[in-house]
Amino acid sequence: MSDPIAKSFTADGKKLLLWADGLVTFGFGFRVPGVGASKAPAAQAADLAAGWWLMGDACLYEASEAARVLKAARKLARSNPNARPGDFRAVAA
């Protein structure tokens, strides 16, 4: 069982939680649709980086965009472990 480590809000006021294993959920624990948790440690590290990027910029997106943005962030984090927040913003746009 993982613990929540960060909380943020979307532009339309929905709460997002980042969990220690890289999972991102809405306030009541419902997963962001289509984006589950990874089991492999390397993938969890990339998911955690992607989650932090989303938490930092969540206020720029509506809840309906969360899945698209998180999938793009995870794809970037897994393909480029040295990616920076600016790289995330470029792919999330």
80: its two tokens: 């480029």
CB 91 within 8 A of CB 72: yes
- Summarize pLDDT for 35-89 with one digit per residue, the tens: 877 788 888 888 999 999 999 999 999 999 999 999 999 999 999 988 988 899 8
Interhelix angle for 66-79 vs 85-92, to 10°?
130
Entry pTM: 0.88
- Vertex 26: Cα angle to 29 and 36 (nearest 5): 75
- Summarize pLDDT for 14-40 with one digit per residue, the tens: 999 999 988 999 988 888 887 877 788
DSSP state of 22: S
91: its two tokens: 């792919």
